[in-house]
Amino acid sequence: MAAKIYTNKDASLVTLKKKTLAVIGFGSQGHAHALNLKDSGMNVIIGLYAKSKSREVAKKLGFKVMDTAEAVQAADVIFVAVPDTKIAEVYNKDIAPHLVKGKTLLFSHGFAVHFKTIETPEDVNVIMVAPKGPGHTVRSQFVDGKGVPGLIAVHNDADGKAKKIALAWARGVGCTRAGVFETDFREETVTDLFGEQVVLCGGASALVKAGFETLVEAGYQPEMAYFECLHELKLIVDLMNESGIAGMRFSISETAEWGDVSVGPKIINESVKNRMRKQLKEIESGKFAKQWIAEADSGCKNFNQIRKEEAKHQIEKVGERLRSTMSWIKQKKLAKGAAQASYVSASK
């Protein structure tokens, strides 16, 4: 049975019209939700800790900025838009003590609720609105009059209005323009982590680097390796986004298509799928979550070291030089210590 797709006709902004909406955090998703809801006519306030570098950014964008605890007290709907590993600390200190019957807690990812890093009260709605795209894309698509697809989920329906609130929020941020699907916190959390780790981020990055390194080690020019293994990846992904894998294959040469269907399964074979299955089990069991929380609690020493090493990879240096020659690519250099909300992505 096909999943129901919710669109603008299924969601009413009236549900949120007389409510105060607090966005706790002003990073990638937080700033996008806040701006889109504000442009949709909603009353949005921002909750941040006293020394947050995002305070000035939010103020310049016209928002009332409050300390987190004050924003929670003032709000009817509270969107917890802080990193997964920081949610428990912020929640226990500044959110939980001020939750009362009738309020709604909203998340864009189910990590904290599903893996029980926090405990939510029974007399408060607990919902999710998860746009299927990074915050800067959520914002740019909204500004263009479009939207990215999204997910909604209801973990706790304390007053019988949780789903209506979720759909209204999804409309306010633009997701119902593209289509919204209903899920649950477990399914969203597990599939999101699996996709990030195995395909979208971890899998794709590792595949691109492995291909680049193989060509360079065999004596081919790094620039040629970059074009073939990284630059053209976007062209293929765009084709798949537009018309699926079959549509992509229709658009490429027969030589490329034969290489796809005859060689691809040799590279991504059953042994790779077995490792994917193993990683899925580690996500489902909570093993990955425990490891990630432990790494964050230790100050991310290993994580930060890996980041430094990865940034030195030859593909980064070659790519930066080549992209500087591509006038059609709007390069964005990330300033050290800059707030995510101050970054405007070139991606649409």
Q: Is residue 223 annotated as involved in ligand binding?
A: no
Q: Is residue 111 annotated as involved in ligand binding?
A: no
Q: Is residue 262 annotated as involved in ligand binding?
A: no
- Of these residues, 33, 109, 114, 155, which one is catalytic? 109
Q: Is residue 228 annotated as involved in ligand binding?
A: yes
E strand map for 108-165:
125-131, 150-156
Residue 114 falls in the annotated catalytic set: no
CA distance 208 to 265: 16
Q: Is residue 188 annotated as involved in ligand binding?
A: no
Q: Is residue 135 annotated as involved in ligand binding?
A: yes
Q: Is residue 232 annotated as involved in ligand binding?
A: yes
At 70, is the secondary structure helix, strand, or coil? helix
Q: Is residue 238 annotated as involved in ligand binding?
A: no
Q: Is residue 29 annotated as involved in ligand binding?
A: yes
Q: Is residue 253 annotated as involved in ligand binding?
A: yes
Q: Is residue 26 annotated as involved in ligand binding?
A: yes
Q: Give yes or no for a contact between 233 and 208, defined as CB atoms under 8 angstroms apart.
A: yes
Q: Is residue 142 annotated as involved in ligand binding?
A: no
Binding positions for Mg(2+) are 192, 196, 228, 232
Binding positions for NADP(+) are 26-29, 52, 54, 135
Binding positions are 26-29, 52, 54, 135, 192, 196, 228, 232, 253
- Positions annotated as catalytic residues are 109
Binding positions for substrate are 253
